[in-house]
Structure 1
Amino acid sequence: MTIAQSTSVSSPALWTGRVLSAIIVLFMIFDGVIKLPPLDVVTQTMVPLGWPADANVARMLGIIGLISTALYALPRTSMLGAILLTAYLGGAIATNMRVGNPLLSHTLFGVYLGIILWGGLYLRDPRVRALIPFSR
């Protein structure tokens, strides 16, 4: 019995996973693309978070986010992408925690995205369900 056979998922769950993953992909594409051009609003928003007002720093963060998102979106590399996006979101969580931003709205926003990210992957990828079996 293969992994796909042993951990099959219903069509509604599969589509829910795809929708959750699409939400993450669309959000992260927006987040990455807005950091690529030297937009003053992006660089000035980084200053209160302890980052320099440097377009190159913003651009590098955008590229890292976009590459990780592309890896997440591709079925063959989705687990690697999920791990990289989790690390990226962890950096955002740490940054917001360090500067004392509000817990529920700012600091934990990366946790919310991570739950959606892994929930979507869990529902659409039998390898993840085999790795993390919630029920037997």
Structure 2
Amino acid sequence: MSQKLMTRIGWVLSAIFGLFMLGASALPKLSGMPIADETMVSLGWQDSPVLLIGTLELVCTLLYLIPATSVLGAVLMMAILGGAMATQIRADMPLFSNILFSIYLGLFMWGGLWLRSARLRALFPFVQSR
């Protein structure tokens, strides 16, 4: 696969990840949608810092989408996803649909970044056997 094609696919995956995080996670929290509070309460977070979490998600997603800060954004986003996974485990949610969803998002995020960043591909090479 050519580097140009890998980069384009990486940007598509990164854009999908960014749109998901902004639209499905950060926006409901930042706009005060009742579903954000209801979801946090159902996970055992009474009086949760929904606005703070939404702000952190927004900042980390934007850092991820900016090429110069993309690795920092990805690392910080993994911290958020790790906290989400811990919350899902504590709430005794289903494994494949809820608990591992953070892993799925993380793989999607890092896959997009790996494809769009030649420096990251050099750092973590994927070697094909011939």
- TM-score, normalisation: structure 1: 0.87
What residue number does 1:3 align with?
Answer: none
List gaps (5 residues or longer) in structure 2: none
User: d(CA) in 1 for partners of 2:43 and 2:104?
Assistant: 19
Amino acid at match of 1:47: V
| 2:72 equivalent to 1:80 | yes
Cα drift, residue 12 of structure 1: 2.0
What residue number does 2:35 align with?
Answer: 41
1:12 to 5, 9, 13: 5
Please tell me whether the aligned partners of residues 44 and 53 of structure 1 are also in contact (alpha carbons under 8 angstroms): no
| 2:58 equivalent to 1:66 | yes
Cα drift, residue 10 of structure 1: 2.4
- After superposition, residues 17-32 of structure 1 pair within 5 angstroms as 17-30=10-23, 31-32=25-26
Please tell me whether the aligned partners of residues 24 and 113 of structure 1 are also in contact (alpha carbons under 8 angstroms): yes
1:51 to 24, 42, 45: 45
User: d(CA) in 2 for partners of 1:18 and 1:63?
Assistant: 23
What residue number does 1:103 align with?
Answer: 95
User: d(CA) in 2 for partners of 1:50 and 1:9?
Assistant: 47
User: d(CA) in 2 for partners of 1:113 and 1:41?
Assistant: 21
- TM-score, normalisation: structure 2: 0.91
Please tell me whether the aligned partners of residues 9 and 123 of structure 1 are also in contact (alpha carbons under 8 angstroms): no
Identity %: 45
4+ residue segments displaced more than 6 Å: none
List gaps (5 residues or longer) in structure 1: 1-7
